[in-house]
Amino acid sequence: MFAQRTKNLNSSFIRDILAVTQQPHIISFAGGLPDPQLFPVHELQQAAQLMHHIQGNALYQYSETAGLLPLRAYVAQSLTVADSQPDDIIITTGSQQGLDLIVRCLIDPGQKVAAEAPTYLGALQVLRANQAELVTIPSDDQGPDLNALEEIVKQEPIRFFYTVTDFQHTLMPHRVIHFGSFSKVIAPALRLGWINGPREVIKVVEKLKQAADLHSSGYDQHLVLHYLQSGALLPHLDTICTAYSRRLEAMATALTAYMPDQIQFTKPEGGMFIWATLTSNESTMTLFQSAIEQGVAFVPGEAFYAFSESHNSMRLNFSNSHVDLINEGVKRLASLVNGERLEGRSAIG
Ligand SMILES: Cc1ncc(COP(=O)(O)O)c(C=O)c1O
């Protein structure tokens, strides 16, 4: 009854476990959520007032598929890595939609795409849903294995390489399509992101987007535009970077204090997660079940590999828990990994 493309769909493991981990007694390192207490609500309210005053009823009208011109101009000028013009940008409904549009624009079913292992789970979902054939490139704290990538590109007809560049940095050559998002720097509920890429690609993506949803919410685009024009973004970034780096510090300190020999990790320079690997070969999928019983959650690393290549890694989110909870959550994890209780020890003074 269903189309072929639905055969490859599997529900996101993260979405499934988020339901479990959202119980109030659980300290959750599972989601990739920014802290809602840090959303710039007051500044967004001010921007909303101003946009109603300036736009009036027009605020609620249909608008152009590519996105509001002044918003594209802002992104082109201030938020892109290379010299860009508004026509090199299309506003998307979150960068997740950007991924889907680009894959549909460039990939026919069965064509090959290379991606890092581990990689962003949402990209794996998009690639599977669009029947791309995945080829994985091993990646570590130095980024993807470029020799492996070169070899694969020589041997196989790879259409493109999907990489998450920030905080697992690779150099950006030209011929790059870059996805951006306001989700983590302002608020994910706005569902606004963008694609910055070669103009001939953007033009075709625009047609696909028109068929998909006509345009991303004009209301939200005006809101973000007014917010950006108010100059509130940079001070807000300072606020969230300071808060998140404290939490990162707290998690790194607790991991080192409670599991000095049992876990390996590299402290990231940004983002919202620590990627940790057990030095034993224990399965983090099994550990996850007992962790839930102990009231702490994480995402087993396996979820981020197309072919379940890793069994003993885990992703730990630090952005959405306060430092005392981070300490307590890591302590609970350590008690499982160490097979002992650690009451009375504290990594955070
Ligand atoms: C690498 C990456 N791409 C895309 C997304 C989706 O973000 P958005 O909210 O912009 O759709 C995420 C969300 O965490 C992400 O980590």
pLDDT by residue for the chain (349 residues), tens only, comes to 888 888 777 666 667 777 777 788 899 999 889 999 999 999 999 999 999 999 999 999 999 999 999 999 999 999 887 789 999 999 999 999 999 999 999 999 999 999 999 999 999 999 999 999 999 999 988 889 999 999 999 999 999 999 998 754 475 546 889 999 999 999 999 999 999 999 999 999 999 999 999 999 999 999 999 999 999 999 999 999 999 999 999 999 999 999 999 999 999 999 999 999 999 989 999 999 899 999 999 999 998 999 888 899 999 999 999 999 999 999 999 999 998 644 433 343 3
Residue 270 in tokens: 């940004």
Question: How many angstroms does the Cα of residue 310 sit away from the middle of ligand 1?
Answer: 22
Pocket of ligand 1 contains residue 139 by CB under 6 Å: no
Q: How far apart are CA 314 and CA 299, in angstroms?
A: 6
Are the beta carbons of 300 and 285 closer than 8 angstroms?
A: yes
Reference 296, options 34, 28, 102, 44; nearest CA is 28
Atom of ligand 1 nearest to the CA of 182: 10
Q: How far apart are CA 55 and CA 256, in angstroms?
A: 53
Tell the residue nearest (CA) to atom 16 of ligand 1.
120
Mutate to test the pocket of ligand 1, among 75, 95, 121 (most ligand atoms within 8 A of CB): 95
pLDDT for 344 = 37
Are the beta carbons of 121 and 14 closer than 8 angstroms?
A: yes
Are the beta carbons of 300 and 284 closer than 8 angstroms?
A: yes
Pocket of ligand 1 contains residue 40 by CB under 6 Å: no
Are the beta carbons of 179 and 105 closer than 8 angstroms?
A: no
Are the beta carbons of 205 and 12 closer than 8 angstroms?
A: no
Tell the residue nearest (CA) to atom 15 of ligand 1.
120
pLDDT for 341 = 42
Question: How many angstroms does the Cα of residue 229 sit away from the middle of ligand 1?
Answer: 24
Pocket of ligand 1 contains residue 75 by CB under 6 Å: no
Reference 271, options 234, 304, 332, 320; nearest CA is 320
Question: How many angstroms does the Cα of residue 37 sit away from the middle of ligand 1?
Answer: 20
Question: How many angstroms does the Cα of residue 192 sit away from the middle of ligand 1?
Answer: 10
Question: How many angstroms does the Cα of residue 126 sit away from the middle of ligand 1?
Answer: 12
pLDDT for 81 = 73
Mutate to test the pocket of ligand 1, among 120, 179, 182, 196 (most ligand atoms within 8 A of CB): 120
Tell the residue nearest (CA) to atom 6 of ligand 1.
96
Tell the residue nearest (CA) to atom 14 of ligand 1.
32
Bridge partners for 313 per DSSP: 277
Pocket of ligand 1 contains residue 193 by CB under 6 Å: yes
Residues 6 or more apart whose CB falls under 8 angstroms from that of 5 comprise: 109, 129, 130, 131
pLDDT for 172 = 54
Tell the residue nearest (CA) to atom 1 of ligand 1.
120
* Torsion over CA: 67, 73, 74, 75 (sign): positive
Pocket of ligand 1 contains residue 271 by CB under 6 Å: no
Would you give the end-to-end CA distance of the chain in angstroms? Answer: 60
Atom of ligand 1 nearest to the CA of 32: 14
Kindly report the backbone phi and psi dihedral angles of residue 43, in degrees, each rounded to the nearest multiple of 5, phi listed first. Answer: -65, -35
Pocket of ligand 1 contains residue 181 by CB under 6 Å: yes
Pocket of ligand 1 contains residue 32 by CB under 6 Å: yes
Are the beta carbons of 29 and 318 closer than 8 angstroms?
A: yes
Mutate to test the pocket of ligand 1, among 97, 139, 181 (most ligand atoms within 8 A of CB): 181
Residues 6 or more apart whose CB falls under 8 angstroms from that of 209 comprise: 65, 90, 92, 97, 101, 215
pTM of the predicted model as reported, rounded to 2 decimal places: 0.92
Burial (CB count within 10 angstroms: exposed 0-12, middle 13-18, buried 19+), residue 34: buried
Pocket of ligand 1 contains residue 143 by CB under 6 Å: no
pLDDT for 9 = 73
pLDDT for 169 = 40
